[in-house]
Amino acid sequence: MRGKLAIACIVLAVTCRVAGADDVVGQCRFNIPACDQIITSPSFGPDEKALAYRYRGELRTDAGENRLAIADFTESIRLKKDDMSAFAGRGRAKFADRNLAGSIADYSEAIRLLPGSADLYVQRAHVYIVNKQLDAAISDLTEAIRLNPSSAQAFNTRGVAYVKKGDFDRAIDDYTAAIALFPFPEIYANRGFAYEAEARSREETPGNASWRTIRS
């Protein structure tokens, strides 16, 4: 009887320890001190520490601590080289730190690890737009739309790229597609600006039959 009781106590202790570890990992997603506890404790393995570095990197990016976030994501990648989310997170932190080339490189690695993610193509396209690589952005967004035809964000962002290229017809079409999927006020505003830019271009090039009539 005593033997069974001892075994039961051991099982209970192990279960409590595992449950406690799970609680800390869960808290780490929203709490930097919990991440610190995982990173510094010998009770956690490399996978858990990699996750803690990634979560802490995400929290630091949200707080504007971009250099510290980049260091965290780099350590996460060192511990777990195939973590797509760590590369994407570091890409976001590098973008916030204005390291556009580094951001594109990290998003490219994330896409290599998960080529079916429309969201990753949209995120890299956004960096391309800021870096004035509009054709690359449009290519990424076209792929994102192929992967997820219901992505209003992809249509809207491609509309932005087309506006910057001066292709207002295509921009208006993309904004219209985005509105059909998600009638968000910002997208209506974007389409309004595209209509205005299109009208201005038609006025500046009289007799150009390629410009459509403004639609209400």
Residue 18 in this model has a pLDDT that exceeds 70? no
**What's the pLDDT tens digit per position in 26-38?**
899 999 999 999 9
Check pLDDT > 90 for residue 204.
no
pLDDT tens-digit profile of 113-172? 999 999 999 999 999 999 999 999 999 999 999 999 999 999 999 999 999 999 999 999
Mean pLDDT of 35-51: 96
Long-range contacts, stretch 70-77, CB < 8 angstroms, 24+ apart: 70/94, 70/97, 75/50, 76/50, 76/51
Domains of the chain (ranges; CATH) run: 18-106 (1.25.40.10)
**C-alpha span between 205 and 209 (Å, rounded):** 9
112 with 85: CB under 8 angstroms? no
DSSP-derived secondary structure letter, 183 = -
Rg, C-alpha atoms of the chain: 24
**54 with 71: CB under 8 angstroms?**
no
Give the pTM.
Answer: 0.84
> What's the pLDDT at 86?
98
Q: What confidence score (pLDDT) does residue 180 get? A: 98
| Whether the predicted pLDDT of 205 surpasses 90 | no
Asked if pLDDT for residue 211 goes beyond 90, the answer is: no
Q: Determine the Cα–Cα distance for residues 199 and 201; give it in Å rounded to an integer.
A: 5
Mean pLDDT along residues 10-25: 53
**Cα 80 from chain centre:** 19
User: How far is residue 90's CA from residue 131's CA, in Å, rounded to a whole number?
Assistant: 17
Per-residue DSSP letter, 43: T
Distances (CA, A) of 2 to 6, 10, 54: 6, 12, 45
Position 52 pLDDT exceeds 90: yes
Tokens of 214: 């403004």
For 180-190, how does the pLDDT look when each residue is reduced to its tens digit (9 = 90+)? 999 999 999 99
Residue 26: predicted pLDDT: 87
Residue whose C-alpha is closest to residue 82's, from 57, 113, 51: 113
DSSP 81: T
Given a contact cutoff of 8 angstroms between Cβ atoms, the answer to whether 87 and 113 are in contact is: yes
**Nearest alpha-carbon partner for 171 in 186, 147, 190:** 190
pLDDT attached to residue 20: 53
